[in-house]
Amino acid sequence: MNGVRREIEELRRVVEEAKLGGGVEAIGRQHSSGKLTARERLELLFDDGKYTEFDMLVTHRATEFGMSEKKAYGDGVVTAFGRVSGRNVVGIAQDFTFMGGSVGEMHAAKIVKAMQFALSVGVPVVFLNDSGGARIQEGVDSLKGYGEIFHMNVTASGSIPQIAVIMGPCAGGAVYSPALMDFIIMVSKTSYMFITGPRVVKVAIGEEVTEYELGGAEVQASRSGVAHFVAGDDREAIEIVKRLLSYLPSNSLELPPRVETGDDPYREEPYLDNVIPEDTAKPYNMYEIILRIVDRDTFLEVQKDFAKNAIVGFARLDGYTVCVVANNPLYYMGSLDIDSSDKIARFVRFCDSFNIPIVTFVDVPGFVPGTFQEHRGIIRHGAKIIYAYAEATVPKLTVIVRKAYGGAYIALGSKHLGADFVMAWPTAEIAVMGPEAAAEIVWRKELQAIKNENERTELLKKLAEEYRRRLTTPYYAASRGYIDAVIEPSQTRKTLVEALHLFITKREIRARPPKKHGLIPL
C-alpha cells in the first residue's frame, strides 16, 4: 500500500494543532514579551531537546461562560518525561498561550498525574510555572485542582527533588505549589510571585505598587527569601536547573552522583594558615575559605542574596556532593538572626532528606541581640537550626575556624547535636560567651571596686585575656572530647576528605522513640 493512511494523517494534523497551544498569534505575543513557549523550555531542559509528552490531547470539559467553544489540546500545560544529563526527569511546563496558562480541572489533573509518575518511579520533577492563576470560569473545580497539586507536593516532599521555575506570573493560590517545593528559580523582569496583587493591595491598604516591586525576582530573592536563585532569562533558568540536579540524587533512597572533578583530594592550602586576622573583632571573607577547601569550581550557592550573614550551598569534596553551611563575618560578624536561622535550618533538612553530607564552617559570636529580633521570635527561629542538625542522620562534619559562642556554637553542628567529626583551627574560640563579656561577669566585684575608668578598662583587658587563655582555646574543648582534632588550617581539605571517606557509609545506630513525626518549631 502506497502513501500514508488517512488515520495517520489525521493524527499528525491533531499533533501539529496541539503543538500550537493557544495559536500562532499567542506564541508571537509570548516571544515578544521575552519568554519562550512551554515546549521550547522543555527542549532546553531535556538532553538533545528530546522528550516524551503525555496527555497532549487532554481538553477541559467546562461549559459555562462560553468555555465549550474555547478549547485547545493540552489545556494550557505540557507534561513530559525525558533525560537530563542522562538521568530521568519529569517536566511540567505551563503554556501561557492558552488562557494565560490558567489552572482548571483538567490542567491540574495533568500536573497531578505527572507528579504521580515522578513519585512512583523515584525521579525529580521540574515545574516550569507561567500562569495567570485559577481559571475563574471553572469555579471550584479550579480550586479542587490546586488542592490536589498541593497534596502531591506534600506527598512527594523529601522523597523526590522538586524544582519550581517561575517564568511568568505566579499569583494567589498558585504560589503555594512552588513554596511547597524544594527550590524556586525566578526569571528577572518576566516573573513575579505574590498572594494578593497590586489592585487588591491598593484597595485594601491604599498602597500603590507594581507587580515587580511587590513580588519580582529580586525582591523575593533578597528580602523574603522565597526565591533561591535568580536567572537573567529562560535559558539561564534552565541551566541553573541542570546544574542543581547534578548535585542531587534522583530520590531519597539513592546517594547523590559522584563526579570526577580532577582536583587533588589531598591538596594543601597554606594561604589558610593566615586567613584569620589576629584581631578577633576584624572580619574576613568566608568565601575564601570555602572555595579553597571544596573541589575547584564546584560551589553552587543557594539564596546568596538573602540573609547574607549565613552561607549555604552545594559543593563537591573528592567528587562527592556535600552541603556547605557557614557563617559570614562580613555581615553581623556572622551572628545568627531570624532569616539566617530559617535559611540554614531549611537547607540542612533538605540535605538530610536526600542523603547529602553536611560540612559546617563555624565563626559565630552568637545570636543577634535586641528587641527587633526577640519580639519577632528569634528563640523560635533559632530553635529550628538546633532541630534540623539534631534530626539529621547524614554525615555531619564541622570545622570551627574562629568564634563559637553560646547557644549558637551548640546549634551549628556541634558534637552535642550529633556531629560525627568536629575539627578546630588553632584560632578557634569556644565558650559560653566572648571573653570580655565573660570577664565582666566572673570578676564583677573586682572590676566594680576600681573607680578609675582607665584602670578598670585595662584590668578588664587582662582578665579577658586570662579567660580566653584558660577556657576558650580549642585545646580545652579537645580535652573534653568535644573537638575530635585541632588541625593546621592548610590541612583542612585533606582532613575533611578523609573524614568524608570514613563517614560516607554512616548508619544511625541510636534508638529513636516511636512517633509519627517530630514538631519542628515553626
pLDDT tens digits, 362-394: 999 999 999 999 999 999 999 999 999 999 999
Residue-wise pLDDT for 82-114, tens only, equals: 999 999 999 999 999 999 999 999 999 999 999
CA 181/CA 125 separation, integer angstroms = 10
Out of 139, 147, 407, 418, pick the active-site residue: 407
pLDDT of residue 318: 98
Q: Where do the CATH 3.90.226.10 domains begin and end in the chain?
A: 6-246, 270-428+473-503
Which of these, 147, 133, 103, 141, lies nearest to 194 by C-alpha position? 133
For the residues of 462-522, what is the DSSP string, one character each?
Answer: HHHHHHIIIIISHHHHHHTTS-SEE--GGGHHHHHHHHHHHHTT----S-----S------
Residue with cell 507534561: 79
Which of these, 120, 101, 53, lies nearest to 80 by C-alpha position? 53
| 31-35 average pLDDT score | 94
Protein fold of 270-428+473-503 = 2-enoyl-CoA Hydratase; Chain A, domain 1 (3.90.226)
Q: Who's near 223: CB < 8 A, 6+ residues apart? A: 306
Q: Tally Cβ neighbours within 10 Å of residue 64.
A: 9
CA 88/CA 129 separation, integer angstroms = 20
Full-model pTM: 0.94
Split at pLDDT 50, 70, 90, the class of 225 is: very high
| 52-63 average pLDDT score | 93
Are residues 300 and 244 in contact, defined by beta-carbon separation less than 8 angstroms? yes
Rg (CA), the chain: 27
Helix, strand and coil percent figures for the chain, each rounded to 5: 45, 20, 35
Residue with cell 503555594: 176
CA 128/CA 116 separation, integer angstroms = 17
pLDDT of residue 1: 53
Mean pLDDT for the chain?
94
Split at pLDDT 50, 70, 90, the class of 461 is: confident
The three grid cell numbers given for residue 230, joined into one nine-digit string: 535568580
Active site residue 408: yes
Higher-confidence residue of 36 and 280: namely 36
Residue-wise pLDDT for 311-320, tens only, equals: 999 999 999 9
CA 506/CA 87 separation, integer angstroms = 26
| 459-486 average pLDDT score | 85
Active site residue 388: no
The greatest distance separating any two alpha carbons of the chain, rounded to the nearest whole angstrom, comes to 111
Out of 122, 139, 147, 173, pick the active-site residue: 173
pLDDT of residue 41: 98
pLDDT of residue 512: 81
Split at pLDDT 50, 70, 90, the class of 4 is: confident
CA 229/CA 215 separation, integer angstroms = 14
Which of these, 85, 499, 87, lies nearest to 322 by C-alpha position? 499
Percent of the chain with pLDDT over 70: 99
Residue-wise pLDDT for 121-169, tens only, equals: 999 999 999 998 889 899 899 999 999 999 999 999 999 999 999 999 9
pLDDT of residue 470: 75
Is the pLDDT at 504 greater than 60? The verdict is yes
The three grid cell numbers given for residue 251, joined into one nine-digit string: 530520590
Which of these, 400, 354, 107, lies nearest to 251 by C-alpha position? 354
Is the pLDDT at 280 greater than 90? The verdict is no
Percent of the chain with pLDDT over 90: 82
Are residues 145 and 108 in contact, defined by beta-carbon separation less than 8 angstroms? yes
Active site residue 173: yes
Question: Residue 467 CA to chain centroid, in angstroms?
Answer: 39
Q: Tally Cβ neighbours within 10 Å of residue 210.
A: 10
pLDDT of residue 354: 98
Are residues 193 and 156 in contact, defined by beta-carbon separation less than 8 angstroms? no
Residue with cell 523515584: 122
Domain covering 6-246 assigned CATH 3.40.309.10 in the classification: no
| 75-80 average pLDDT score | 97
pLDDT of residue 107: 96
Are residues 45 and 242 in contact, defined by beta-carbon separation less than 8 angstroms? yes
DSSP state of 251: S
Are residues 451 and 423 in contact, defined by beta-carbon separation less than 8 angstroms? no
Give the type of residue at 265. P
Out of 38, 156, 408, 411, pick the active-site residue: 408
The three grid cell numbers given for residue 335, joined into one nine-digit string: 551572628
Question: Residue 53 CA to chain centroid, in angstroms?
Answer: 29
Residue with cell 576584624: 282
Is the pLDDT at 433 greater than 80? The verdict is no
Split at pLDDT 50, 70, 90, the class of 456 is: confident
